[in-house]
Structure 1
Amino acid sequence: MGFLSKLLTALRGATNEAGQKAVDANAMRILDQELRDAEVSNGKAKDQLASIMAKKKLAEQKLDGLQADYERRMGQVRAALDKGDEDLARDVANAVKQIEEQGQTEQEVIATYDRTIEDLRGAIRDNDRTIEQLRREVDTVKANEALVKAQSAASVSHGGANSSLGNAADSLQRIKQRQAETRAKIEASRDLAQQGGDLDERLAKAGITDQSSSTDDILALAKSGEPKKLGSS
């Protein structure tokens, strides 16, 4: 069980490492996508803001209409009272009360819209600022990454050039070595030949030379009747 546990732990570690390498390899692409997603979300927030502002405008128009109805009904109440028709004035006053209640509701709706609009505007403003800042940082990171890649490529090329120069130097050294060995062999051959010539001179000076048949020797041999075999002494 201990071995299996260690094996599973190692596999999980390898998987996490591979996953992290994949994330690192696509970091810029992932970051760009995250920024695009943030911009899309912020765009939706702006659409929502526009929708709420439109609803607020409609609510304000409705409130303006209720205000006009309120003023008209209040005029009717006063007119009924002026004529001494208190019952009619009371009925109109009930209508005025309903208008007031509707107006209060619309005012609360408008106040809610105002708070929502203020919150959305603040969030959108902050998001725009953050996205703009991140975009600048991403551009900087991309520029740095391009610089690092260029420097890395130059380093690899320089290393390859150094390797090629090193190989050329090694080849040149081997050629020089072979030439030196050849010269040494030639000089050794000359030394041996010179030593051989010096030995012949020394033998000649000492009166030691190759044996050759003189004329008298040939005549003596002819008289003896024993022919000499060539090459024998």
Structure 2
Amino acid sequence: MTVIKKLVTLLRGSAREIGESVVDSNATRIYEQEIIDAKHSIEKAKGDLTGVMAKEMQSAREIERLKKEITRYEGLAIEALNKTQEGLALDVAAKVGTIEQELEEQAKAHASYALQVSKLKELIKSAEARIREHEREIGIAKTTESVYRATQSISENIGSGGSRLANARESLERIRARHEDLADRMTASQALENELGHQALEKKLAAAGIGSDADRTGKVMERIRARQANPGGAASE
């Protein structure tokens, strides 16, 4: 039984550690969602506030209506007295008393609505100010996380011989070596062509005074001198 209890305790501890790890790794996302939830609550509070404000306006209109009723019935009571209708004036006075009682109830309700509106407005303003503060904090937290990730990426990519940056440099060196090898091959090919190819043989023949191009320069000079000696001969041809 003791072993089973220890195993259960171990499982509970592992579950707690896993849960804390998940929360820690997603802390920013959870924080952001909590801000979103708070915004929804504020929107709901604003809806409730509009409802209370509507009741406050309605009670204010009702108060004005009752005041007008009282004024009207008091005028009627005065008319009744002027016509020596004492009993009728008394009935009207009773009506005024009933309306005044209703007016008092409406005034209490209106005062209550006004107090609720004032409190809700203050709560909403305070909550919105806290949310703006939290939004600034989440912005700072996101920026900090981005800096940490960039720093970690730089640390992973430069430092060790087997890092990505080192591998990239090795690739660049291989490309350079391949280009140098290709350039050397082209140079060697040109040198071989100059030494053993058709052009090399022609150059050797020309240098030895052999072939059709051997004394081309001499022949051209002879033709130029002949034209110089006989200027009209070229024109007559």
Which bracket does the TM-score occupy, shorter chain normalised? Answer: 0.5 to 0.7
Q: What is the rounded CA distance, in whole Å, between the counterparts of 1:48 and 1:105 in structure 2?
A: 23
CA contact (8 A) 2:156 2:163 kept: no
How big is each residue's C-alpha offset from its partner over 1:81-103, in whole Å with a ceiling of 9 and x where there is no partner? Answer: 11111100001011101110111
Instruction: For structure 2, list consecutive stretches of 5 or more residues without a partner in the other structure.
Output: 168-237
Cα distance in structure 2, aligned partners of 1:150 and 1:57: 57
2:59 is aligned with 1:62: no
Cα distance in 1, alignment partners of residues 159 and 17 from structure 2: 29
In the TM superposition, residue 162 of structure 1 has moved relative to its aligned partner by 5.9
**Which residue of structure 2 lines up, in the alignment, with residue 20 of structure 1?**
20
Say if 2:67 and 2:103, in contact at 8 Å, map to a contact too: yes
Partner of 2:131: 131
Report the equivalent of 1:79: 79
How high is the sequence identity, in percent, across the aligned residues? Answer: 34
**Relative to structure 1, is the Cα distance of residues 121 and 166 closer, same or farther in structure 2, using a 3 angstrom cutoff?**
closer
Q: Distance in 1 between matches of 2:98 and 2:13?
A: 71
Preserved contact between residue 59 and residue 109 of structure 2 (Cα < 8 Å): yes
Q: Which runs of 4 or more aligned residues in structure 1 lie more than 3 Å from their structure 2 counterparts after TM superposition?
A: 159-167
1:2, distance to aligned residue in structure 2 (A)? 2.3
Alpha-carbon distance, 1:164 to partner: 8.0
165 and 82 in structure 1: CA distance in 2 versus 1, 3 angstrom threshold? closer
In structure 1, stretches of 5+ residues that fail to align are 168-233
Aligned length: 167
The CA deviation string for residues 191-216 of structure 1, in whole angstroms up to 9 with x for no partner, is xxxxxxxxxxxxxxxxxxxxxxxxxx
Counterpart of 2:91 in structure 1 is 91
Separation (CA, whole Å) in 2 of partners of 1:166 and 1:130: 48
CA distance in 2, matches of 1:31, 1:87: 74
Give CA-to-partner distance per residue, 1:15-65, whole Å, 9 cap, x none: 111111111122111111111110000011111111111111111011101
Q: Which has the larger radius of gyration?
A: 1
1:1-233 matches, within 5 Å, as: 1-161=1-161
Cα pair distance change 1:15/1:159, threshold 3 Å: farther
CA distance in 1, matches of 2:106, 2:65: 11
Question: CA 1:155 to 1:70, structure 2 compared with 1: closer, same or farther past 3 Å?
Answer: same
RMSD, aligned α-carbons = 1.9
- Distance in 2 (CA, whole Å) between partners of 1:139 and 1:28 is 10
Deviation at 1:3, TM superposition (A): 2.0
The code of the aligned residue for 1:62 comes to: E
